[in-house]
Amino acid sequence: MRESFTAAVARRAALAVLGLIWLIPTYLLVVNAARPVDEDGTDNIWTPPGDFALLDNMRQAWERVDLGPSLGSTLLYSLTGPALAVVIGAMAGFAISVLKLRWGFAWFLLIFGGTIFPTQMLLIPLFLGYSEASLYDTRSGLVLIYTAISVPFAAFVMRNFFTGVAYALYEAARIDGASIWRVFWRIYLPLCLPALGAVFVLEFTFIWNDLLFGVTLSQSEQVRPIMTSVSALSSAYSGTRIPIVLAAGIVVSLPTVLLFLVTQRLFARGLALGQF
């Protein structure tokens, strides 16, 4: 018992130390974002500020690049793209795993194979294609690309989930006269809601934090995502001081933090059910 108690104490102490190390960047972010602009410097980044100026720095960051339109557009992309992707991914997983689609594994490789290419390889073809199709600098164009890049992961998770569901459930529903469409919407889709929720949270976070597609495929303040606006705020030509840039980083990080706090139980359950 003494050895087990000692091991438990050592494990908790190690986790506490690792947790503190993990929180160091957060501490530096908050401390320096709350620092008045006239106290900004490299010699005092570890010390708390004399005056708490976080709210004022947030206000200045918001006013300098007018984050409101970008925030609304990013919210649209982060909600619409993952929502469409999880439904399309669930359909693909249902067709491959439950309907036993011919050449199903080949279709799965085709869907998921797009993720093996680095994102940077897609930027120039996307820019040229969007320019020719009049999708450049439009909200519909960004919703389209964010949905497309979210589908493979959703299909991967849903395929794994549906593989673990007893096939007799599908057979029983079909014998009772239910159509394939009804089986999917009324039986299988409700079963995978926790997994869908976990995928949605992950894809929401990815899209919210995306910079490359926003910089490449948008330009106007009304269309560009929030991270593109923040990158403009932190550019070498903007003349913005570091505390204001860090305060803007806190502003744009709050929605994803709140989402994880609200959906943490659903997220943990979905991770287990989805067999990531």
3-state secondary structure the chain: CHHHHHHHHHHHHHHHHHHHHHHHHHHHHHHHHCCCHHHCCCCCCCCCCCCCCHHHHHHHHHHHHCHHHHHHHHHHHHHHHHHHHHHHHHHHHHHHHCCCCCCHHHHHHHHHHHHHCCCHHHHHHHHHHHHHCCCCCCHHHHHHHHHHHHHHHHHHHHHHHHHCCCHHHHHHHHHCCCCHHHHHHHHHHHHCHHHHHHHHHHHHHHHHCCCHHHHHHCCCCCCCCHHHHHHHHCCCCCCCCHHHHHHHHHHHHHHHHHHHHHCHHHHHHHHHHHCC
**What does the alpha-carbon distance between residue 224 and residue 255 come to, in Å, rounded to a whole number?**
17
| Tokens matching residue 67 | 């984050």
Per-residue pLDDT tens over the stretch 89-142: 999 989 888 888 888 788 888 888 877 888 888 889 999 999 999 999 999 999
Q: Which amino acid is at 247?
A: A
For the entire predicted model, the pTM comes to 0.84
**What does the alpha-carbon distance between residue 214 and residue 142 come to, in Å, rounded to a whole number?**
8
Q: How confident is the model at residue 208 (pLDDT cuts 50, 70, 90)?
A: very high
Nearest-10 Cα torsion for 224, 229, 231, 237: 120
Q: How confident is the model at residue 237 (pLDDT cuts 50, 70, 90)?
A: low
Per-residue pLDDT tens over the stretch 36-73: 877 776 677 788 877 888 888 888 888 777 778 888 89
Tell me which residue of 254, 92, 215 sits closest to 161, measured CA to CA: 92
Q: How confident is the model at residue 276 (pLDDT cuts 50, 70, 90)?
A: very low
Residue 267 has pLDDT above 80, yes or no: no
Alpha carbon distances (Å) from 53 to 34, 85, 225? 5, 40, 26
| Tokens matching residue 68 | 């409101």
| Tokens matching residue 224 | 């560009």
**What does the alpha-carbon distance between residue 146 and residue 130 come to, in Å, rounded to a whole number?**
14
**What does the alpha-carbon distance between residue 106 and residue 87 come to, in Å, rounded to a whole number?**
20
The per-residue pLDDT for 264 is 77
HSE-CB at 81 with a 13 A cutoff on CA atoms is 30
| Gap between the terminal Cα atoms of the chain | 36
